[in-house]
Structure 1
Amino acid sequence: MTWSQLFDLWPLIEADLHEVYGVDVGDPHLMRTRTWRWLRVRILGLLSADSRLARHLAPPETPAR
């Protein structure tokens, strides 16, 4: 998974950042005061959380019938 591929999923990431961390990426002041590392850590955290992003990349298995 590349950063380019992740950023193609930006709507999921944006919604998850708000739900999981309370981060509004639409707030220009907030985003100017944060580092790339700060954002990277949170996006990577979404991969191991119960998040839209994680469910999109690894959907739950459906039981076999």
Structure 2
Amino acid sequence: MTWDALLDEWALIEADLHQVYGIDAESGVLHDRTWRWLRLRIMGLLSTECRTNRRFNPPESGQKRGR
């Protein structure tokens, strides 16, 4: 997985930032934060039950993910 691949899914990331962390990306908060701050949160989404995680870590065939 590359940052290009991740950022191609920005709509999922943006929705998950709001759902998981309460971050409204349209509020301008990203202008006040460092790349490191955003990177850590995006990486956190990859280990949280959310859209971004399901996109990049789909369940194995025949298995369902629990909530």
Q: TM-score, normalised by structure 1?
A: 0.87
How far did 1:56 drift?
1.2
Query: What number of residue pairs does the alignment pair up?
Result: 62
Q: Which runs of 5+ in 2 are unaligned?
A: none
Which residue identity does 1:54 align to in structure 2? N
3-state DSSP class of the match of 1:23? Answer: coil
Trace 1:1-65 onto structure 2 (pairs within 5 A).
1-28=1-28, 30-61=29-60, 62-63=62-63
Please identify runs of 4+ aligned residues in structure 1 that moved more than 2 A: none
Task: Give the fraction of aligned pairs with identical amino acids, expressed as a percent.
Answer: 56
For the aligned residue pairs, the C-alpha RMSD in angstroms reads 1.0
